[in-house]
Amino acid sequence: MFTAFVIGNLASGKSTATCYLASRGARSIDLDRLAKDLYVPGSEIVESLVDAFGAEILDEGGYTRTRVLAERAFATPESAHQLNSIVLPVVYDRLNNLLLPSTCTVEDDGATFTVVEVSLAQEFTYAFNLADEIIAITAPADIRRMRAIERGMSAEDFDARAALQPSEEELCSLASLVIDNAAGDDSLFAALDAWMADKGLLPGQMSLDGLDA
């Protein structure tokens, strides 16, 4: 099954793009959700997280206090990288299993392709071999900052998180397709529709060996 990774910095619109593609027939996978499933008692990463960030990240039941973990992990670029080095290899294995042809056959539920939302593109480039297309959703930093504030994030929180992310130029260098989302949803959706049409992925289209039938 054709697989696209959607990458983008904070408040770029990558989640909006992923949701739209899902509404147009894609099976959607959110790597953040796969990661959150690991923050439970007995998970293969909990011991490593405690070793790296302290026992205080766990509550009385052994569940990860994600807010405490985030405060410690995102304090510096080095600690953020340490968190990613613990979590992402396990996320990769789970994603790889989800994308196995046999799994897709059972679970795609009529989906025409798979779209994977990737928040940490630079840390996850070793997984890009799993994708047929890497789509970068971009927007200027001031627009992304405004969007984040409008949905409830503080300016200080946005600035701190954005400082740990790659530049838009670096992000675009990782992609096979770049979509500018400065103008908003209508323009974004039109660009995604054009891409799906080009790939033969629109509902009702069929693609075989690269040829539309």
* pLDDT per residue rounded down to tens, the chain (213 residues): 899 999 999 999 999 999 999 999 999 999 999 999 999 998 999 999 999 999 999 999 999 999 999 999 988 889 999 999 999 999 999 999 999 864 444 444 678 899 999 988 999 999 999 999 999 999 999 999 999 999 999 999 999 889 889 999 999 999 999 999 999 999 999 999 999 999 999 877 644 434 443
pLDDT score, position 101: 67
Please report where in the chains the tokens 């660009």 appear, as a residue: 191
Count of CB atoms situated within 10 Å of the CB of 196: 21
CA 3 to chain centre: 13
- Domains of the chain by range and CATH? 3-37+89-201 (3.40.50.300)
Q: Are strands 113-118 and 177-180 parallel, antiparallel or unpaired?
A: unpaired
pLDDT score, position 211: 40
Q: What is the pTM for the complete model shown?
A: 0.84
Question: Would you state the torsion angle of the CA atoms of residues 90, 94, 96, 97, taken in this order, to the nearest 10 degrees?
Answer: 140
